[in-house]
Structures are given as C-alpha cells and as structure tokens.
Structure 1
Amino acid sequence: MRVLDFDGTIYDGESLLDFYLFTVRKDPRVLHYLPVALFYAVRYRLGRVTLEQLDSAMRRVGSRYLRRLTSRPGFDMDRLVSQFWDANMHKIMDWYTPQADDVVVTASFDLVAGEACRRLGITRCIGSTLDLESLTVGYLNFGPDKPLHFQRILGRETAIDAFYTDSAFDRPMIDLARRAYLVEHGRVRRIK
C-alpha cells in the first residue's frame, strides 16, 4: 500500500490555504482569520509553540471562521468545495498517478482534500475533521498524530510499503513505512 501526504506532495501548494483564499473571494468577511492562523503556524514551525498550543489556537480560529463562513444565507459547503476543486484540480502534480490501494494522510481537512481524492479515484483520505453541525474542529491530523489516526482507522497491523511526503514533519509516518520518498517541486527522491 502507498500512503501519501497531500499538500506539497500530490497537490502543488497548501490546499487549506488555497481554500481559505478562495473563500475570501466569496466572502471577504473571513479575511481577518488568516493572520492569527499564520501566526501560530509559523511559530509552531519555528518551535516556539507546542503542538497542543497550535491545536488549541486552530480550534478557536477554525470555529470562528466556520461560523462566519456558513452564516451567509443559502450557504452550501459541498457546492463551495466542488467549486474550489473545479478551479484547482490542475494543481495535482504530474508525477502522481493514483493506484487502487493509495491512502492519503493529510493535515488538511478531509472535507476539502477528500473531494480531490474522490475525483482522483482515491477511496481512503484520512485528514483533519470538521463537524459542520457544531461548527468545530474534530481533530487535527498533524505531525505525531498522523500515525495514530492512520492506525486507528486502518488498524495497527496495516503495512505501509511506501510513504510519500514533502516534509520532515512527517517523520512519524516515515518511520512506519518500509520505504519513504521526499517530493520536492514535483521531483520524487527515495529517502528510506
């Protein structure tokens, strides 16, 4: 089985950021949530906040963003996600050809990345989750949490033949895989 990260690996860019910017064009009122999210994301990457602090901040910001975004009359999340992918499927990298047993494990929300996976014929997408009923973040599938969610969903004994990523932050998933590949600017290089 191949397991792949999504952003920067299959998708050329950060789909969550691109989706957010797409929603800003639809509803400029959501613009003011970006600085807080970026502040915490950058500080996490620099080692200045813990994963728990990042998780807490993203839950707060995510919930406020969702409340604002969904408050428009006639709002339809499925339609919005579909429109986003109609405009962005061209950003799937050329190196990637889906295989029947591919699994995507991503920090992006399954609601967003899952639609791209569906269009690519990938049936298993394990991402961060949103509860649109309560407008809250279910869990963030990031860093050390990725293998936990992967094993919870597919089983602890599930073997990963190859794992593809663009980031050293995926070290916990790399450690689970028999082989690992780094994707940089659409070029794939074996690292394990």
Structure 2
Amino acid sequence: MNVYDWDKTIYDGDSSIDFYKFNVKRHKRLAKLWPAQVKAAADYKRGKITKTEMKTQFYRYFSEIDDIDNAVLEFWAINKHKIKPWYMEQRRDDDLIISASPEFLLEPIIKELGVQLIASDVDKHTGVHRQENCYGVEKVRRMEKLYDMNAMEYFYSDSYSDDPLAQYAQQSFLVKGNELKNW
C-alpha cells in the first residue's frame, strides 16, 4: 500500500482554502465571519488555542452554505484538474489518502479516484470537529486503527509535520510541486 498526504502533495494547493474561496465568491455574506476567523488564526499562532479549535472556528462558515453537498460536488467539478499528473500516473487501487482536510469535502473526489481515505471528521453543517484534527501524530493513530502499519510501502507528503507517519514506510518522499525527493 502507498500512502499519500492530500493538500500540496497530490492536490496542487490546499483544498480547504480553495473550497473556502469557492464559497466566498458565491456567498458574500461569509465576509461577516472574517473577524472571528482572523482572531482564531492569531490565537492559534500565539498558542492560545489548538489547531483543531482554530480550524473549527474557521469551518463555522459551513453553516452559512444552504446545500453544502451540492457545493462540494460543484467544487470538485471545477477543481479536480488540480490533482497532479504524477499521482495519476502511479495511482493504485490500494492507495490510502490521509489528510487534515474535512472528510466530507474529500469523499467525492476520493470515491472518483477509487482509493481509500482517512481525513478529519468535521460536521459539514456546523464546522465542528468530532475528533482531533487529522494532523501529525494523529494521522498515525487513525491509520493504526484501520491498517497494518507494516503494509506501507511508500509515503508521500509535502510537509515534515508528517514525519511520524513517514517513519513507518519502507521509503518516504517529500513532495515539492511536482518534484519528489527522498525524505
């Protein structure tokens, strides 16, 4: 099995940010949430709140989207071209995508790719995380519950924050754009 981070690894950009921008263009009323989102980001940077708390505050805008399921489908119809070609060339049926992005946001595109997914469990109507953000060591915890860690052949990520997971792979790669470097 090969394991991949999603954002900035096989997806060219950050899908959570891209989804936000997609929605802001369609719903100008989301601007009223900016002050709270900026405050949450500042509080996180100062160590006052956790990454999960910061993201929950950011994702509160989900409650302002009338048909979020349709918004997700429309988003992927426009943005699926951002999946990097190198991934599509080596994609395997037993691939696992593990991401901090919301699970409901990634599910349609992952289903289309025909691979497995572990992602952050976020309520699509409120933005509230149902469990810890799927980031860093939390990725290892989630994967251990479902898979044999020794089955991981290759691991790919754009960030050393994924080092806890990279340590389990037979070989790991750091992804910068379309360039793959040995971890």
Equivalences for 1:2-151 in 2 at 5 Å?
Answer: 2-34=2-34, 36-37=36-37, 48-49=46-47, 53-62=50-59, 64-69=60-65, 75-97=66-88, 98-122=91-115, 124-132=116-124, 136-139=128-131, 140-151=133-144
Deviation at 1:157, TM superposition (A): 4.7
Instruction: Give the conservation status (yes or no) of the 8 Å contact 1:40–1:49.
Output: no
Instruction: Give the structure 2 partner of residue 166 of structure 1.
Output: 158
Q: Is the 8 A contact 1:81 1:112 kept in 2?
A: yes
Q: Give the total of aligned pairs.
A: 180
In the alignment, is the contact (CA less than 8 A) between 2:102 and 2:122 conserved in 1?
yes
The unaligned stretches of length 5 or more in structure 1 are 70-74
Displacement of 1:59 in angstroms is 2.1
* Aligned equivalents of 1:39, 1:178: Cα separation in 2: 41
Using a 3 Å threshold, how does the CA distance of structure 1 residues 163 and 89 change in structure 2: closer, same or farther?
same
Report if the CA contact (8 A) 1:95-1:187 is conserved: no
- Using a 3 Å threshold, how does the CA distance of structure 1 residues 184 and 25 change in structure 2: closer, same or farther? same
Q: Secondary structure at the match of 2:56?
A: helix
Cα distance change on mapping 1:133 and 1:166 into 2, 3 Å? closer
TM-score, normalising length from structure 2?
A: 0.86
After TM superposition, give the deviation of residue 131 of structure 1 in Å: 2.4
The alpha-carbon distance between structure 1 residues 132 and 92, as it changes in their structure 2 partners (threshold 3 A), is closer
Identical positions, percent: 31
CA apart distance, 1:156: 5.1
Segments of 5+ residues of structure 2 without an aligned counterpart are none
Q: CA deviation at 1:53?
A: 1.9
